[in-house]
Amino acid sequence: FRLAMTPFPGFVFGLVGLTYYAEVFESPDASVVEVVLFHCIIGLLLVSYLQCLLLDPGTVPKRWHDAVVRSDATNRERYKICRKCNMYKPPRSHFDSITQRLVLNMDHFCPWVCNCVGFYNRKFFILFLFYVVL
């Protein structure tokens, strides 16, 4: 649903498609090694981008919150309570107002991937940026 509300994935796929067309069809003097290397990098770029788009960044598990509630008072004092969802927050977790959830180890919300960059998709976000630079 959130992917249909933003033009950024179409823009990214369009840029990748234009780059692919220019490299494969418009450069006849490219060697076989260059073409194979280019296809590998484009494939890895698309896979890492799709992982960023489709993977859940990681939400705080309900059982973790329940375990903190059941623990002693000194353990509960170590954690803050989120004002938006009234759950205990692990360190470096933040409530994302766009996706309306508490994200585990949240970095930021990226409109280019239409998702938060969090615990489970940070690796793919960094890989995507690396392949873009290549």
Q: Hey, which residues are catalytic here?
A: 110
| DSSP category for residue 117 | E
What element of type H or E holds 108?
strand 108-110
Which has the closest alpha carbon to 48: 133, 134, 123?
Answer: 123
Residues 6 or more apart in contact with residue 97 via CB below 8 angstroms? 84
58 and 107 in contact (C-beta within 8 Å)?
Answer: no
